[in-house]
Structure 1
Amino acid sequence: MGEVRATDLAKPFFVLYVVWHPSFELGEKIADAMMQHFRRDLYKNIVGGAGIPVVFRNACMPDNDIPISINPEDSEASAIIALVDDNLCESQSWVDYVKGLSEKTEESNKNGFNNLLFPVSFNKKALHKVNLSEQALRWDSWKGDNNEKTMRLISELTYEFCRMLRHHLAQLENPSNKNLENYLKKVQIFLSHSKHDSDGIEIATSIRKRIHEGHGLSSFFDVNDIPAGLRFDEVLLAQVRISAMIAIHTDSYSSREWCRKEIIEAKAWNVPLVVANSINNMDERGFPYMGNVPVVRLGYDVADVSRIDIVISRLLDEVLKDFLWRCQTHEIRKQLPSRAFLIPRPPELISLSCIPEGPELTDTASTETILIYPDPPLSTEEERLINRVSPNVQLRSLAEWKAGATR
């Protein structure tokens, strides 16, 4: 692959391949779980899915004992997940097949990290037989049952896919931006919480601890990370704009001015956001702008780290979808009319406040503002409400806009 070029819209953008030996029964269950998580039917409410194609490579070709080969050049970016167990390692043809995939991804990545192989080790000794250069995900050393390990594998891979797509986006914006240092930068997490009930501080501390124990994500924990001499409010709001956010919704959260400011800032800048519901007794007045994003029941028992893991994983899903959207629409941005804007989540009333003002905004149809958002299309009742408030704003899902839909 040469220098990063304009995206070929005829190609799939990002494809996941799952490779496992047909005799490895657990492999099929893991692959099915990945399929269910990363690929979704856009018209069904499936948690987590990002609309990523997932392709299996376990069935062997006729008169052969290995599957069809994988060509990384068939998509703009790809990730190959190789489930390396004893069955695979005991077959020299399968070992050669996986080594061949390693060589292909290495060749395609001379100018970046668009195609990567992720080995998953189910037996450390068996992994040595394959002798791959890539760092493996160590299923064999993880604690828990197979379901828990599968969830961890999906979460670990999601974070790595975020790295890949962030780096790909940086290359699209600047083709010379392809060094390892940029790839290794961490995703930052802003923990928005209230200090006016003990639950908020305790839960935020537990999430931060869990983050550092797990993926090595860099969390931002307001006052503790504001350098001396700088203004509290300026640093706080600037950090919201460049982070993914977990809003820890405890009893006093909605009543605190700075918690509300952080939510509004996050919505205004379209940052990935997940609400962790930790109501203990009641919320006197729910803050309306906390909607339109995933809400995960966390509770206020911080001893249950499994719930914290679900919150972090759900946020990673949102980060992944955000990078996918920005990569997939990079070339489209260059084709947009002056009053058309791309937003990474379904529009809501607060989206209207984020539209830049300008002399073009009139009541004439020729200068209507268009908000383009990810599929599926907005529900009729939501669209009617927004149109009632701002009748000269058109709402179009990406597929509708591509098809040239009009009123």
Structure 2
Amino acid sequence: MKSFKSPLSIYVIWHPSFKEGIKYAESIYNTYSGENDFVTHARYDIPVSYRTLSYGKDIFAPIPFSESDKNALIILVDEFMFNDEDWTIGLNKLLKSKPKNTRVFPISFSKYAFDLNKEFLSSTQFIKTKQQSPDFGNDFASNNKIIKYRLLESIAKFLFNVKENYNTKTDSDAPIKLFISHAKADGEKLAIDFRNYIYGNTKLKAFFDANDIADGHYFEQEIKKNIDHSAFIIFNTDEYANREWCRKEVIIAKRYRCPIIAVMDIKKGERRSFPYSGNFPTIIWDDNFEEVINLILSQIISDKYNELFLKSIVTMYKLEEKYSCIILPKAPELFNYIDIERFKEERKEVKPFIILYPDPPIGIEELNLLNDIDSEIKFITPLMLPTYTT
């Protein structure tokens, strides 16, 4: 059996005298690991480790870069770190030895943070907190809000970029596009406000149907091209499911396996809810721009990390030697039989079929429905793998 590699590991580094460092570290842990503290709905379990305590003669324990496909080093830079010679030397050693698969995300908690390491950090974009201003003081809630969004966007872009031999100095991550799907009849103002917020307050890009399509281009093909490189936000208003193009956009997004969330803004009700507009997180609209953006970024991370994680599982257990295996980054649904039947037709294999999706397993009521279509296909999660690998 091959050894397992996590698609991404996160390391939070701070000076032990920075007393609030643990609060920021715990917030990062809660955002990216386990149940994510139920702050994002999305599910993934990215390994998050702390580096603050001394380890023998070293300022902290070594980082096993080779155990993950990618590593994120989140460095909380405050005045204690800047004024400690041992830490400046130790960090210089760490930054000098980091491999190409590692990205550094420095966060400034001091006006001196940008001078910490001119050799390796001078050209690195810091996440700037308000704490670096002496007039602002230490406001954890405000700083943490800034850090949470900036890291979600940065980690999402870092995971999206899967190029081999990636050079962090010369290759920049492509910006994330958010496809804003809405009904003009009652959702246009909301969608415009959201698009304006994106361009006024974030580094994200927005795709806003006809306004972003070049003259003379075929509408559906242009939408498909952009959906294929985007995340998808549904503004589900009363009229949304009544509009043909809204329904088409949802189907196309699902066919391309885009990360999707729905923003619910139903006022009176729907004549008929769209049956394919489900199996993804939803959030109630309450002028909560930041929460919506954080949720879609979390869903991007969830879908991409789970996809890469499950591919590593397939490789580690050599599942394709015994099975025809399809990977899903989220819980299965009847819609997935489109891909299943296409996969069968292309492969023409006689090996048993398994569909591997993230934990937790779906309920027996959903499983029975899926197996009503094909009782031979097994829908499993990593927790259930021992039954299939012995």
SS in 2 for 1:13: coil
Q: Distance in 2 between matches of 1:149 and 1:379?
A: 40
**Cα distance change of structure 1 residues 349 and 359 upon mapping to structure 2, 3 Å threshold:** closer
Q: Which residue of 2 is the match for residue 24 of structure 1?
A: 18
Say whether residues 1:351 and 2:336 are aligned partners.
yes
Answer yes or no: is the 8 Å Cα contact 2:103–2:168 preserved in 1: no
Q: Distance in 1 between matches of 2:139 and 2:330?
A: 35
Say whether residues 1:397 and 2:381 are aligned partners.
yes
**Cα distance change of structure 1 residues 159 and 268 upon mapping to structure 2, 3 Å threshold:** same
**Cα distance change of structure 1 residues 205 and 41 upon mapping to structure 2, 3 Å threshold:** closer
How far did 1:383 drift? Answer: 0.7
**Superposition pairs of residues 238-253 of structure 1, within 5 angstroms:** 238-253=225-240
Q: Which residue of 2 is the match for residue 204 of structure 1?
A: 191
Q: Distance in 1 between matches of 2:279 and 2:90?
A: 45
Answer yes or no: is the 8 Å Cα contact 1:325–1:374 preserved in 2: yes
SS in 2 for 1:248: strand
Q: Distance in 1 between matches of 2:371 and 2:66?
A: 43
How far did 1:97 drift? Answer: 2.1
Which stretch shows the higher mean deviation, 93-102 or 241-250? 93-102
Answer yes or no: is the 8 Å Cα contact 1:82–1:98 preserved in 2: no
Counterpart among 25, 30, 47 of residue 36 in structure 1: 30
Counterpart among 189, 213, 220 of residue 207 in structure 2: 220
How far did 1:294 drift? Answer: 0.7
Counterpart among 301, 307, 314 of residue 326 in structure 1: 307
Answer yes or no: is the 8 Å Cα contact 1:237–1:265 preserved in 2: yes
**Cα distance change of structure 1 residues 13 and 238 upon mapping to structure 2, 3 Å threshold:** closer
How far did 1:129 drift? Answer: 4.2
Answer yes or no: is the 8 Å Cα contact 1:85–1:127 preserved in 2: no
Q: Distance in 2 between matches of 1:359 and 1:146?
A: 53
Q: Which residue of 2 is the match for residue 3 of structure 1?
A: none
Q: Distance in 1 between matches of 2:341 and 2:171?
A: 31
Answer yes or no: is the 8 Å Cα contact 2:319–2:389 preserved in 1: no
Instruction: Encode CA deviations 1:152-205: one digit per residue, 9 max, x unaligned.
Output: 3122112222222233x232xxx6x768675331122111000011xx111111
**Superposition pairs of residues 374-389 of structure 1, within 5 angstroms:** 374-389=358-373
Say whether residues 1:11 and 2:5 are aligned partners.
yes
Which stretch shows the higher mean deviation, 210-219 or 18-27? 210-219
Q: Which residue of 2 is the match for residue 70 of structure 1?
A: 63
Instruction: Encode CA deviations 1:88-142: one digit per residue, 9 max, x unaligned.
Output: 222111222222222122xx12xxxx10221100112244244433321111379
Say whether residues 1:118 and 2:112 are aligned partners.
no
SS in 2 for 1:355: helix
Q: Distance in 1 between matches of 2:265 and 2:303?
A: 25
TM-score, with structure 2 as normaliser: 0.86
Q: Distance in 2 between matches of 1:230 and 1:11?
A: 43
TM-score, with structure 1 as normaliser: 0.82
Answer yes or no: is the 8 Å Cα contact 2:326–2:354 preserved in 1: yes
Answer yes or no: is the 8 Å Cα contact 1:344–1:374 preserved in 2: yes
Instruction: Encode CA deviations 1:200-239: one digit per residue, 9 max, x unaligned.
Output: 1111112212222333212111100111111222222332
How far did 1:31 drift? Answer: 0.5
SS in 1 for 2:71: strand
**Cα distance change of structure 1 residues 145 and 208 upon mapping to structure 2, 3 Å threshold:** farther
How far did 1:349 drift? Answer: 1.4
Q: Which residue of 1 is the match for residue 94 of structure 2?
A: 101
Q: Which residue of 1 is the match for residue 249 of structure 2?
A: 262
How far did 1:344 drift? Answer: 1.3
Q: Distance in 2 between matches of 1:183 and 1:96?
A: 28
Say whether residues 1:191 and 2:180 are aligned partners.
yes
How far did 1:51 drift? Answer: 0.6
Q: Which residue of 2 is the match for residue 4 of structure 1?
A: none
SS in 1 for 2:105: strand
Answer yes or no: is the 8 Å Cα contact 1:322–1:344 preserved in 2: yes
**Cα distance change of structure 1 residues 230 and 46 upon mapping to structure 2, 3 Å threshold:** closer
Higher relative contact order (CA 8 A, sep 6+): 2
Flag structure 1 segments of 5+ consecutive residues without an equivalent: 1-7
**Cα distance change of structure 1 residues 23 and 234 upon mapping to structure 2, 3 Å threshold:** same
**Cα distance change of structure 1 residues 344 and 126 upon mapping to structure 2, 3 Å threshold:** closer
Which stretch shows the higher mean deviation, 19-28 or 182-191? 182-191
SS in 2 for 1:258: helix
Say whether residues 1:90 and 2:88 are aligned partners.
no
Q: Distance in 1 between matches of 2:113 and 2:236?
A: 46
Q: Distance in 1 between matches of 2:31 and 2:245?
A: 35
How far did 1:10 drift? Answer: 3.1
How far did 1:251 drift? Answer: 1.4
Counterpart among 114, 117, 125 of residue 135 in structure 1: 125
The one-letter amino acid of 2:177's match is Q
**Superposition pairs of residues 330-345 of structure 1, within 5 angstroms:** 330=311, 332=314, 336=320, 339-345=324-330
Task: Number of aligned residue pairs: give it.
Answer: 376
SS in 2 for 1:356: helix
SS in 2 for 1:290: coil
Task: Please report the RMSD computed on the Cα atoms of aligned residues, expressed in angstroms.
Answer: 3.1
How far did 1:366 drift? Answer: 5.3
**Cα distance change of structure 1 residues 384 and 356 upon mapping to structure 2, 3 Å threshold:** closer
Q: Which residue of 2 is the match for residue 5 of structure 1?
A: none
Identity of aligned residues (%): 28
The one-letter amino acid of 2:371's match is N
**Cα distance change of structure 1 residues 252 and 405 upon mapping to structure 2, 3 Å threshold:** farther
SS in 2 for 1:158: helix
